[in-house]
């Protein structure tokens, strides 16, 4: 029954095992961080749906999103970014989510201005992506249709958007407190300011 859920984490050296994911009554993951590998993600309810899923649940599309995510996450791991989190409409009971959203933790150890630091990040990551999709610049956004918002190159290629998190302002404010939000804060609340769950991706 939706709204009743159990999560159990077993701690072993260097590894957390997620036993179960469930949607709450709002169709989201309950607040908290849920560690899982990409292989486990493919077998989870975020791809297969739960016991109450609609016949229109798009398992094939959700699996493709995870496969696309795998490509981008492997690029991040290869560059040494270990802490990666995802959610977005993919982490809800929406029948056909538009994409996967997420962020990865990095450090601006040289104290560069945000634009310079992010350009360095993009240059590093684009060496690993032959289509050079890594960019967070507004000038690189394009509209899928006139009625839709502009999307980054990574969205057009993978339908995944991954953002750097180094303590900078995300450009969004909390809908209730008007506090400036980092990506780590933004991805853990709904548009109404309610807490929600997020997936932490683990290497095998």
pLDDT in tens, 176-196: 999 999 999 999 999 999 999
- Domain coordinates in residue numbering, the chain: 58-196
Task: Give buried/exposed letters for 94-117 (b at 16+ CB in 10 A, else e).
Answer: eeebbbbbbbbbbebeeeeeeeeb
Q: pLDDT tens-digit profile of 81-125? A: 999 999 999 999 999 999 999 999 999 999 999 999 999 999 999
Note the pLDDT tens digit of each residue in 38-78: 999 999 999 999 888 899 999 999 999 999 999 999 999 99
> What are the tens digits of pLDDT across the range 124-150?
999 999 999 999 999 999 998 876 889
Rounded Cα distance, 182 and 116, in Å? 18
Q: Is residue 76 within 8 Å of residue 84, measured between CB atoms?
A: yes
Q: How many CA atoms lie within 13 A of 160 on its CB side?
A: 24
Phi/psi of residue 179, nearest 5 degrees:
-75, 140
pTM of the predicted model, to two decimals?
Answer: 0.89
- Cβ neighbours of residue 169 closer than 8 Å, sequence gap 6 or more: 180, 181, 182
| For residue 169, pLDDT beyond 80 | yes
| pLDDT value, residue 144 | 85
């Amino acid at each position: 029954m939706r709204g009743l859920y159990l999560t159990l984490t077993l701690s072993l050296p260097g590894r957390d095992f997620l036993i179960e994911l469930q949607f709450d009554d709002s169709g989201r993951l309950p607040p908290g961080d849920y560690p899982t590998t990409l292989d486990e993600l493919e077998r989870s309810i975020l791809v297969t749906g739960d016991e109450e899923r609609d016949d229109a649940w798009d398992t094939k599309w959700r699996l493709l999103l995870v496969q696309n995510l795998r490509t981008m996450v492997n690029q991040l791991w290869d560059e040494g970014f270990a802490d990666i989190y995802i959610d977005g409409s993919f982490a809800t009971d929406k029948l056909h989510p538009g994409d996967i959203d997420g962020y990865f933790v990095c450090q601006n150890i040289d104290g560069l201005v945000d634009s310079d630091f992010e350009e360095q990040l993009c240059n590093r990551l684009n060496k690993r992506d032959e289509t050079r999709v890594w960019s967070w610049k507004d000038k690189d956004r394009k509209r899928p249709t006139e009625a839709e918002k502009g999307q980054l190159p990574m969205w057009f290629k993978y339908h995944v958007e991954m953002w750097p998190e180094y303590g900078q302002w995300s450009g969004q404010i909390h809908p209730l407190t008007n506090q400036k939000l980092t990506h780590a804060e933004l991805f853990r609340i709904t548009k109404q300011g309610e807490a929600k769950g997020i997936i932490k991706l683990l290497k095998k």
